[in-house]
Amino acid sequence: MSKLSQLYQQVILDHSRKPRNFGELKPCTHSCEGYNPLCGDQITVYLNLDENNIVEEIKFDGIGCTISQASASMMTQILKGKTKEEAEKIFQEFQQMLVSDLDINNQQNSLGKLTIFSGVKEYPSRVKCATLAWHTMNSALQSKNKVSTEI
Amino acid sequence: MQIPMPLKNKLAKALDINSIRLDFPILSQKVNDLPLVYLDNAATTQKPIKVINRITEYLSFQNSTVRRGAYSLSEKSTALFNEARQKVAKFINAKQNSEIVFTKGCTEAINLIANSYGGSVFKPNDEIIITAMEHHANIVPWQLICEKTQAKLKIAPINELGELNLIELEKLINPKTRFLSLCHISNVLGTINPLKKIIDLAHKHKIPVLIDGSQAAPHELIDVQDLDCDFYAFSGHKVYATTGIGVLYGKLKHLEQMPPYQAGGDMIEKVSFEKTTYAAPPSKFEAGTPPIMEVIALGEALDYITNLGLENIKAYEHSLLKYAENQLAKLVPEVTIIGQATEKASLISFVIDSIHPHDIGTILDQEFGVAVRVGHHCAQPLMNILKVPATARASFAFYNTKEEIDILIKGLKRVIEIFKY
Ligand SMILES: Cc1ncc(COP(=O)(O)O)c(C=O)c1O
């Protein structure tokens, strides 16, 4: 597979065309707005955590490129039903896959289908697109209201 | 030395693009195994071999400080430095060399004026006018100085073609208006502003005008005396020279009045611990050891484009613009061109239905070797007015060709094929 088709795999294109769990979730227990000033991408992530800190519901809305929309869409799928701690752990691993040295083939991880984004590592300018939704979700869990990729 | 004086009436000569391309080593490079198609000239331009060689020569045989060495090497360096200032003055037809201040770029030039001129002149409730099509570099310095002086920033609007609305601009002017700052050419819309009309209008009300000439210096014959602007700023790296050097032109009467912007060596006349008196312009605004190599390379770059002839460059680039517009028109309705001003420089911003500019940029680069700019182009307020989060932008220089535009179009067709649904 070429580097480019690795980036734009069918699954990613499909998620960006038909994002899952797209829309507002109100009321919700946690939400945060994320912004990537470099490309104008903007996203809001909404979560409902139950009394055991389990993600009962998660949705997102906003605008962005193929990578950022697909990443947000797949994030909502994988996080539903996870605990807050699990969500934070997956966020860490996702980031490590893209910016440091998590070897998805040889190291144990909970990324599952998300490894499809590993090709983004080859495009440093696109890493922020893939991680925007995740940073936003993480900040929502930490109860911040706004987050930017440029700080 | 070439003097670009009575060129206005001369007919444009055809440029030999193939031989010009050989002057730019980077253009024969491959990226991703594809010939480089460089269409991001509004961000920065490539460097001709003459400029590259000039830098090598200077660093190899002439490097030394300026204005203070009592030895031959430094005298030579100082002479070259002064000669370059003279070339810049000629290039924009300034009355005298002392009206040319070297900065590290257009951004610093605007900051200098906002701080030194604005900081000493603006009073609470004074009004400063900029336009809706400005680059952040011509917005934020004014916001900061307005905050400091409690002056107010007013924004002149644009029409749906992306042209400045002159009627609304005139309405903004009142006895409290202290300054007008606007771009010569918009880096997003390509709009060429009718400067003479605007400057005349401002001067009727005794309002000084700064022109952000970043996008004009590489494409337009600039005559600051004819324009009668008070200040004119541009960056070296957009006129085929290096980064780290910019030009601020200012009428001498202003520069003489203005307080220093930064302090240090070279900008003083006499220093004692009780009192310091400042050197005359331009030295007053050039504290510290200047970017000597960059200045000399800038002079070389201006010689290069003056040799080609700005009227020839403009005519050729205009033909590229028209060709690109016609080719892009065939991709309607998917492609929408942003900015349809009647007077337009050789750059095209566009969006493609439901496809994010970032994705366009990656496909063009990876599969076609085409470098375009994607994003908000440091003009977020303008993006909000245009109601797009971002655009893709192709900007042409005289070394670009119709064949390269064909590759861009082919690439865009492929983008549409991949992402359209
Ligand atoms: C219209 C305009 N103004 C100002 C600037 C700032 O120039 P520099 O970053 O070289 O200082 C640019 C560069 O992108 C520009 O296009």
Q: For chain B, give the percent of residues with pLDDT over 90.
A: 86
Of A26-30, B167-171, B264-268, least confident by mean pLDDT is: B264-268
Q: What pLDDT is recorded for position B2?
A: 45
DSSP 3-state of B267: coil
Q: Which residue of B has its CA nearest to A37?
A: B376
In a domain, B12, yes or no: no
Q: Do residues B283 and B317 share a domain? A: no
pLDDT, average across residues B158-174: 97
Going by the DSSP 8-state scheme, the letter that residue B344 receives in this structure is B
Contact B328 CB / ligand 1 (< 6 Å): no
pLDDT, average across residues B166-194: 98
CA distance B101 to B89: 10
Q: What separation in Å is there between the alpha carbon of A65 and the centre of ligand 1?
A: 26
pLDDT, average across residues A31-45: 88
Q: What pLDDT is recorded for position A30?
A: 95
Q: What pLDDT is recorded for position A3?
A: 79
In a domain, B83, yes or no: yes
Domain range for B152: 53-306
**A3-148 CATH:** 3.90.1010.10
Of A101-105, B223-227, B255-259, B349-353, least confident by mean pLDDT is: A101-105
Using the Cβ of A128 and the Cβ atoms of chain B, whether some distance falls under 8 Å is answered with: no
Count of CA atoms in the C-beta half-sphere (13 A) of B118: 33
Q: What pLDDT is recorded for position A104?
A: 81
B2-51 tens-digit pLDDT: 444 444 445 688 999 999 999 999 999 998 899 999 999 999 999 999 99
Q: For chain B, give the percent of residues with pLDDT over 70.
A: 97
Q: What pLDDT is recorded for position A141?
A: 94
Q: What pLDDT is recorded for position A144?
A: 66
Identify the domain boundary among B259, B289, B306.
B306
Q: What pLDDT is recorded for position A2?
A: 78
Contacts with A42 from chain B: Cβ below 8 Å: 389
Kindly list the domain boundaries of chain A, sorted by start residue: 3-148
Using the Cβ of B374 and the Cβ atoms of chain A, whether some distance falls under 8 Å is answered with: yes
Q: Chain-centre distance of CA A66, in angstroms?
A: 12
Identify the domain boundary among B275, B306, B337.
B306
Contact B344 CB / ligand 1 (< 6 Å): no
Q: What pLDDT is recorded for position B354?
A: 84
Atom 9 of ligand 1: nearest residue by CA position: B107
Residue A151 pLDDT greater than 60, yes or no: no
Residue A145 pLDDT greater than 70, yes or no: no
In a domain, B9, yes or no: no
Radius of gyration of chain A (CA): 14
In a domain, B4, yes or no: no
Identify the domain boundary among B276, B306, B336.
B306
In a domain, B79, yes or no: yes
In a domain, B7, yes or no: no
Q: Do residues B80 and B186 share a domain? A: yes
Q: Do residues B152 and B224 share a domain? A: yes
**pTM, two decimal places:** 0.91
In a domain, B10, yes or no: no
Q: What separation in Å is there between the alpha carbon of B377 and the centre of ligand 1?
A: 9
Cis peptide upstream of residue B157 (ω within 30 degrees of 0) = no
Using the Cβ of B382 and the Cβ atoms of chain A, whether some distance falls under 8 Å is answered with: no
How many folded domains does chain B comprise?
2
In a domain, B8, yes or no: no
pLDDT, average across residues B172-200: 98
Q: Do residues B34 and B58 share a domain? A: no
Q: Do residues B58 and B134 share a domain? A: yes
Q: What pLDDT is recorded for position B202?
A: 98
pLDDT band with cut points at 50, 70 and 90 for residue A146: low
Chain B interface mutation, best of A4, A5, A65, A122, highest count of B Cβ atoms under 10 Å: A65
Q: Is B378 a catalytic residue?
A: yes
Residue A28 pLDDT greater than 50, yes or no: yes
Contacts with A39 from chain B: Cβ below 8 Å: 356-358, 374-376, 389-390
A79-127 tens-digit pLDDT: 999 999 999 999 999 999 998 877 888 788 889 999 999 999 988 889 9
Q: Do residues B161 and B238 share a domain? A: yes
Q: Please, which residues bridge with residue B337 across strands?
A: B350
**Count of A–B CB contacts within 8 Å?**
49
Q: Are B117 and B233 in contact (CB under 8 A)?
A: no
Sign of CA dihedral B277, B279, B283, B288: negative
Q: Are B80 and B296 in contact (CB under 8 A)?
A: yes
Taking 3-state DSSP, the helix, strand and coil percentages for chain A, each rounded to the nearest 5, stand at: 50, 20, 30
Q: What pLDDT is recorded for position B245?
A: 98
End-to-end CA distance of chain A: give it in Å, rounded: 35
Sign of CA dihedral B254, B256, B258, B260: positive
Q: Do A40 and B375 touch (CB under 8 A)?
A: yes
B49-61 tens-digit pLDDT: 999 999 999 999 9
Q: Do B367 and A4 touch (CB under 8 A)?
A: yes
Q: Do A38 and B366 touch (CB under 8 A)?
A: no
**Which CATH number goes with the domain that contains B404?**
3.90.1150.10
Q: Please, which residues bridge with residue B103 across strands?
A: B246
Q: Which atom of ligand 1 is nearest to the CA of B238?
A: 10
| Cβ-nearest to A123 among B362, B419, B421 | B362
Q: Do residues B63 and B152 share a domain? A: yes
Contact B106 CB / ligand 1 (< 6 Å): yes
Q: Which residue of B has its CA nearest to A120?
A: B362
B111-141 tens-digit pLDDT: 999 999 999 999 999 999 999 999 999 999 9
B358-411 tens-digit pLDDT: 999 999 999 999 999 998 888 888 988 888 888 999 999 999 999 999 999 999
CA distance B101 to B247: 6
pLDDT, average across residues B251-256: 98
Q: For chain A, give the percent of residues with pLDDT over 70.
A: 94
Q: Do residues B267 and B155 share a domain? A: yes
Q: Which residue bears the tokens 């006129």?
A: B239
Q: Which residue bears the tokens 């990578």?
A: A67
Q: Do A38 and B375 touch (CB under 8 A)?
A: yes
Q: Do residues B296 and B164 share a domain? A: yes
Q: Are B357 and B351 in contact (CB under 8 A)?
A: yes
Tell me the DSSP string of A8-41.
T-HHHHHHHHS-TTBS---S-SEEEEEEETTTTE
The crossing angle, in degrees rounded to 10, of helices B292-308 and B72-91 is: 40
Is B68 or B212 the better-scoring residue by pLDDT?
B212
Whole-number average pLDDT of chain A: 90
Q: Are B216 and B185 in contact (CB under 8 A)?
A: yes
